[in-house]
Structure formats: structure tokens, C-alpha cells
A and B are shown apart, each in its own frame.
Chain A
Amino acid sequence: MIVLRLALKSLANRWLTALLTVAAIAVSIMLLLGVEKVRIGARQSFADTISGTDLIVGARTGSLQLLLYSIFRIGNATNNITWASYDEIRQQPEVAWAVPLSLGDSHRGFRVLGTTGEYFTRYRYRRTHALEFAAGKPFEDLFDTVVGAEVAASLGYKLGDRIVIAHGLGSVSFVEHDDKPFRVSGILARTGTPVDRTVHVSLEAIEAIHVDWQGGARVPGQAVTADEVRKLDLKPKAITAALIGLKSRLATFRLQRAINDYPREALVAIIPGAALQELWGLVGIAETALTAVSWMVVATALLGLATMILTTLNERRREMAILRSVGARPATVLGLLSAEAGFLTLAGVLLGMALTYLGLVVARPVIDRLYGLNLAIDPPTWGEIGTLSAIVVAGVVAGLIPAIRAYRLSLADGMTVRT
């Protein structure tokens, strides 16, 4: 149709402004889709921090607090579990495996986790991923340590390096266990979980470095050397928390109740998935804010589109008068203008989608490596298609603003074609 062809030619004549408008819309769409991808990826990565564990047990506290200090290494435990209670839980017939966690020390700002070798085989993230060693192996000697990927990367550690663990959690500590240095026996591959920022030692090592300590300070005159400590009984008396795996998931709630009602000590057992959901609910405000910002950017781009068309209005008045003089109905002319807006928006949306996917393909490995954020490259969901269609409709509506104005002016112009 000749009218459509002329409309396209008119658009082609304004290609630079049209291109910039399309680019602005494309960038806004990229932001919108990108934020959505990161949001979903972050939520997924978050939920994938720990899997395969059925219960986390700790001294009685809030479930979020237990999750934060046992898994995310944030905050402190107020109380410990006695080894006897842990041992009793471990003996329950439903329990397939149990991994003790002992926290409280640090190394240059990174948390130190005392655990058993089983931790490296039982811990799962992203549903099925097990921990892998980038170099070395689990601790064998009492003073062996396995460091997370980020610890190794930021402190430049390699196998065989000697490190000193500090008492307490400050990044600059004046009270160090410098009489009992550790040797790096293994470095873990990056996981994108707090494991990366953790220094792992054996439970016995945690006992060993505290054997001559009492009440948070070294007992004067009672120093025990690293060699002497090997001869002592290093069976821990207490741990901070424990990861529990069950033989059957069906037993989860029953055992959880049993632990919560444990008579000899105030304990709490949480289901990691549920606690993660609860925690995300708190963090989720940020995602809402991000989404709101990206919507505002989309609105800005559409306003830019309306402005761009408004600036061509004088030209359009003439176009309208000419088209009307040859018999075009006002609706046709109005339709042409808003179709142009819709066309530009559609082009922007498609370009934005293409750029988003291109960006994902390029940046995905880097983001995974640097931030442990696994961004999925999926075809657009129906929800996204709905959103994008709504944006195209909004573009058409934005185009109606100048179109209606041009129509009003052309009515007032009548037969007079103005410049």
C-alpha cells in the first residue's frame, strides 16, 4: 500500500532520530530483562546455596539466625551444642549422615570452619553440585587446612603455604594462634556460595588451638606446643551446629520436632529450603526496588518516543492535511502516526531482547566465575512476552499523544497547508 510505503519513507528520512529512539527503548528493555534475569539468577543462586541437607541443628535461636551463622557465616552463635547431644542425634535411626560445624575463629577476615572430612563429600550446592578441589586434598594432618576459592584468590595462597588463625572474628586481630600455624593442604573450586570465603580445618584442630586457652585468652605459663598438643585427647566437647542428612525425607518433620523438643538441651532444627525462602523474603525488597527502577527507565524511553514524534509535528500537520485532502479519514492518519510509534517500540523491544541474549551469552561465564551467579539463558517466558507486548501497546498509546494533537491541529487547519 502506497500510504504505508510513504510512511516508511518518511521514517527513513528521520532515520537518525528514529534510530536513537529505538536505541533508547532497546537499552531500557535490556535493563528490564537484565534485572529480571539477575533477580531470578540471584534468587536461584541464593536458594541453591545449600542443598542435599535435610536439617540444620543448632542451639535454640531464630531459624534465620541459625541459617545465617551456620551457612552464610554471618553473625555469631549465641550458644553451642554439646558433643553428647550431637552424638545422640547422630545415632538416631533416621539419620544417614551428620557433619558437625564449629565456628568462632577467623583468618584475615575470613571465617574459619572446623568440621570433618565428610563435609567435603556431603555439602551440596545448586541441587547436585558437590565441592571439588581445584588443588590438593582434604586435611589429613591435624594442622592441615582447606581454603575456599576466594580466600585463595584474594590472599594469594597456594598449596603448602603456612597460615596463622586468629582468635575471634575481626579482620585485624591481635590475639593469634601463632604458636600453631596451619599448612594449606587443599584449595576448593569456586562455588558461588559462602564456602568460597571459608577456611576449613578439622574439628580436632579447633580443639588443639584452644587447648591452652581459657575465657578468650591464653593462660599464662600453660602454653602447649604444637607437638605436645598432638598427644592430647582432642575430642571436641561442643560444636556450633550440624548438618543432618536423612535416610528418608519423610522423616524430616518428625526428627525436626524431636530435636526441637530435645529435653536435655535447648536445640532447634531448621529445614534449609524453608529458612532460605524466609531469608529471601527479607532480601526481596531490593529486587522490588530494582524492578521499579527499570520500569521507570522504560517509561522514560517511551516518553522520549512521544517527544521525538511531537517534534516532527509541524511536518506532520502538513502530511495530515495532504492525506486528508486526497480523502484519507482522520482515523487513517491517526493510525499511521501511532503505528509509527508502535513500530519503533517493537523494533526497540526486539533489539533490546537481542542485546540481552547477546549480553547473557557473553557475560554469563564471567558473572558465574566472579560472582557465582548462574544466569539461565532461557527462551522468554510467557510472562515476559506479556510484559513486552504491553510495552509495545504503551508505545502505540504514547504515539497517540502527538497523533491526537496533530489531528486537532489539522482540523483547525482545514484546507490550509501550513509549513
Chain B
Amino acid sequence: MADRAATTRLLEVEAVRYRWPGQGAFALEVPRLSMESGERLLLIGPSGTGKSTLLALVAGIVAPLEGHVRVLGEDIARLGASARDRFRAEHMGVVFQMFNLLPYGSAVDNVLLPLSFAPKRRARVGARSAQEAEARRLLERLGLNPTAIARRRAADLSVGQQQRVAAARALIGRPELMIADEPTSALDSDTRDQFLDLVFSELAGTGAGLLMVSHDAALAPRFDRVVRLTDILGGAGASRSAEAVA
């Protein structure tokens, strides 16, 4: 995959239009958005402007009604639903704002979860014992003590610890793109900076790109590029978010 990433863009969104099922009024329109391989892009916009919808489109959880969403050159808008799921499993890691983990699993269980759905990522990590070791290594890299938390139920971890476990899950098996939806908004500012430091250093190691959305403009200096959602939205979405900004 690395060779493909080198010659093609990591992400190209083109003339995308989307409407949530059953909601006639609000349509998201994104004329254009692109990311280079390994790029760290921050998408800023107030809540309710379609940030999460855009991420769902990029992740292939939903498919656009029109337009193209190319990830590593593959137009996932043209793929079937299961192929999109498979593609996401292989090439993307996702971190939510909170409640990232299956509460009954251990931290290690949660980190290993994507490997069940992504044979190539699994192959990259190695055999069963290597998988566990890699999960522990990532947890350690993200500032957690694996021996202390590996066997604990995810629900018993603090929010900051949960977000780091989620980041480890998004990074295991070196997917090309990490997608994060306000991953730091539940954290206090110290934990937030520490979290971003750790994620960035790990990303630098694997060469993966990061697409992160936030309403927090203070994070901007840490990213390669910052895009205001209002600047890339077209049509109804643009006017709506303009109101929201005003």
C-alpha cells in the first residue's frame, strides 16, 4: 500500500453531496477537499455543521449520493457497503470523541479489535503473540503502563486512558489514515496536549496521515494544514454553517 500512497493522494473528496436518510432538508455538499500522504489536517468548525457527516463519508460508513471519495486512489463511493467496511478496516483507524471502547473487553482486546476485520493489517503485525506484544508496545508508546491496564475492563479506565487506548487501536497494523472526531474535547488541556504529542510522534513513525475535526482553533499550530469547514462546504450546508458561525 505504501507505494500506492506515494504516487496518489491520501484523500480526494470531489463534488460530494449527501443527505441523511429520512432527513429531506439538510444536504451536505463538499465541492473539494484533499490530503497528501502523511499530511496532518485539522478541520475546524462549530458543532452541527456536518463535520461528523463528512468524516462518516471519508470513512465509508455512509456513501455519498453523488461525487467521489478517493482514499489512496480508490473511489470508495463506488464500492459496495461491505467492500467499504473492508476498506475502512484495512486502511483507516477511527477515534471518536468518547465511548470509543467496548466496555467489557480489556484494553488489549480493544486495541486488537480491528485486526479481526483486516487480514492485511493482521499480517503486517504478525502472529497471535506478536499481536499482543504490538498492542502492549503501542499502549506504552501512548504513555500507558500495559501491565497495569492490559487486563482491566475498558469501562474501568479514565477518559484520558480510554482515548489513548482508542488511539492505539486506530494505529495498530499501520493503516494509512487516522480519522479523529474531536478526540480531545473530553480531555483537560494538559492531557489533551500530552495525547496529541503521543499520537503525532507515533504517526511520524508510521507515516500515516491524520484527518481530525475539532471546534478548538487553539490546536491549529500543531497541524500541517488547517481548513475551516465553512470554506469547503457548498450549497445548503454552507449557508447553514455561515448562520451558525454568525
A binding-site residues for B, Cβ under 8 Å: 1-3, 5-6, 9-10, 12-13, 318-319, 321-332, 411-412, 414-419
Smallest CB gap from B102: residue in A: A6
A294 to B191, CA, bound (A): 60
Residue of A5, A329, A416 near B85 (CB, 8 A) is A329
Further pairs besides A6-B102, A330-B85: 20, Cβ < 8 Å? A1-B116, A3-B116, A5-B109, A10-B102, A319-B102, A322-B100, A325-B59, A327-B114, A327-B118, A329-B86, A330-B81, A332-B117, A412-B21, A414-B56, A415-B61, A415-B94, A416-B181, A417-B96, A417-B97, A417-B99
Across the interface, do A417 and B100 meet the contact criterion of CB distance under 8 Å? yes
A331 to B117, CA, bound (A): 13
Smallest CB separation, B71 vs chain A (Å): 13
A321 to B56, CA, bound (A): 11
Residues on B with C-beta less than 8 A from A327 are: 85-86, 88-90, 114, 117-118
| A415-B90 contact given A322-B101, A326-B169, CB 8 Å threshold | no
Residues on B with C-beta less than 8 A from A2 are: 105, 109, 112-113, 115-116
Smallest CB gap from B52: residue in A: A415
A12 to B109, CA, bound (A): 16
Residues on B with C-beta less than 8 A from A326 are: 89, 94, 113-114, 116-117, 169
> Is B98's CB within 8 Å of the partner chain A?
yes
Smallest CB separation, B26 vs chain A (Å): 13
| A415-B56 contact given A2-B112, A328-B117, CB 8 Å threshold | yes
Residues on A with C-beta less than 8 A from B21 are: 411-412
Residues on A with C-beta less than 8 A from B88 are: 325, 327
Residues on B with C-beta less than 8 A from A323 are: 102, 113
Smallest CB separation, B92 vs chain A (Å): 8
Across the interface, do B104 and A10 meet the contact criterion of CB distance under 8 Å? yes
Residue of A5, A415, A417 near B59 (CB, 8 A) is A415
Which 4 A-B pairs rank lowest in CB-CB distance, beginning with the nearest? Answer: A327-B89, A327-B117, A9-B104, A414-B56
Across the interface, do B99 and A325 meet the contact criterion of CB distance under 8 Å? no
Smallest CB separation, B30 vs chain A (Å): 15
Residues on A with C-beta less than 8 A from B97 are: 417
B binding-site residues for A, Cβ under 8 Å: 20-22, 52-53, 55-56, 59, 61-62, 81-82, 85-86, 88-90, 94, 96-105, 109, 112-118, 169, 181
Smallest CB gap from B104: residue in A: A9
Smallest CB separation, A10 vs chain B (Å): 5
A412 to B21, CA, bound (A): 7
Residues on B with C-beta less than 8 A from A5 are: 105, 109
Smallest CB gap from A8: residue in B: B104
Across the interface, do A328 and B85 meet the contact criterion of CB distance under 8 Å? yes
Which of A319, A322, A328, A332: most chain B CB closer than 10 A? A322
Residue of A3, A318, A411, A419 near B113 (CB, 8 A) is A3
Smallest CB separation, A216 vs chain B (Å): 83
Smallest CB separation, B128 vs chain A (Å): 10
Smallest CB separation, B164 vs chain A (Å): 16
A323 to B104, CA, bound (A): 13
Smallest CB gap from A330: residue in B: B81
Smallest CB gap from B112: residue in A: A2
Provide a sorted-by-A list of 15 A–B residue pairs whose CB atoms are within 8 angstroms: A3-B113, A6-B105, A322-B101, A326-B117, A326-B169, A328-B85, A328-B117, A329-B82, A329-B85, A329-B86, A331-B82, A414-B61, A414-B62, A415-B52, A415-B55
Smallest CB gap from B94: residue in A: A325
Which of A9, A325, A329: most chain B CB closer than 10 A? A325
Across the interface, do B99 and A419 meet the contact criterion of CB distance under 8 Å? yes
A157 to B26, CA, bound (A): 91
Across the interface, do A329 and B61 meet the contact criterion of CB distance under 8 Å? no
Smallest CB separation, A375 vs chain B (Å): 44
A419 to B96, CA, bound (A): 12
Smallest CB separation, B67 vs chain A (Å): 17
| A412-B20 contact given A12-B104, A326-B114, CB 8 Å threshold | yes
A3 to B105, CA, bound (A): 10
Smallest CB separation, A12 vs chain B (Å): 7
Residues on A with C-beta less than 8 A from B117 are: 326-328, 332
A12 to B103, CA, bound (A): 12
A332 to B85, CA, bound (A): 11
A123 to B101, CA, bound (A): 75
Smallest CB gap from A327: residue in B: B89
Which of A9, A323, A332, A415: most chain B CB closer than 10 A? A415
